[in-house]
Amino acid sequence: MIRTAVEDDLDTLVQLIHDLARFERSAGSVGIDRSLLHAALFGDSPTVFAHVAEEGGDILAMAIWFLNFSTWTGRNGIYLEDLYVRPEARGRGIGRSLIAELASIAHRSGYSRVEWSVLDWNEAALRFYRSLGAEPMDEWTVCRLTGPALAALAGEGPPAG
């Protein structure tokens, strides 16, 4: 069953985020905790949304997403920040069902797209996404400003570099 995440799911969601980070070889990069995720999902002005796949009371997978905007289409879209299916639940169509739910939300809401990033070494994920009809955006490179470089550019730290 795919459903919108509720506050009682917070601990499991945080654990799944940590599990995903370990899978993506970035366990040391995770700084989220229950209170940060609670504020993002359920605070006064939620900035993030989450859906879970549940079976027999157990959460098997999650999709965490937020709205973005395309100046080219003039419409919002969905950015899928994290999709994670527990290893023992893979191959059962759960990831597809979660992405299909986001596609349904986007379609009903008049959004122009659902997009996400995938690590270039994750061949299984790339094959799966292609099977859904997703097109890799090979000509685009993701850029990120964070840490000391972010502080420096904001005028709050020493010059980067």
CATH of the domain at 80: 3.40.630.30
Identify whether 127 is part of a domain: no
How many independent structural domains does the chain possess?
1
Domain holding 77, by residue range, is 2-116
Mean pLDDT, consecutive 10-residue segments, the chain of 161 residues? 97 97 91 96 96 96 97 96 96 96 97 92 88 88 86 78 60
Q: What is the pLDDT of residue 12?
A: 97
State the angle between helix axes of 34-42 and 10-23 in degrees (0 to 180), rounded to the nearest 10: 110
Identify whether 156 is part of a domain: no
Q: What is the pLDDT of residue 144?
A: 83
Active site residue 79: no
Identify whether 153 is part of a domain: no
For 40, counting Cβ atoms within 10 Å of its Cβ (0-12 exposed, 13-18 middle, 19+ buried), the class is middle
Q: What is the pLDDT of residue 159?
A: 65
CA dihedral 106, 118, 41, 87 (to 10 degrees): 110
Q: How far is residue 80's CA from residue 145's CA, in Å, rounded to a whole number?
A: 19
Name the phi and psi angles at 134, rounded to 5. Answer: -70, 145
Q: What is the pLDDT of residue 113?
A: 95
The pTM score is 0.90
Identify whether 157 is part of a domain: no
Q: What is the pLDDT of residue 122?
A: 85
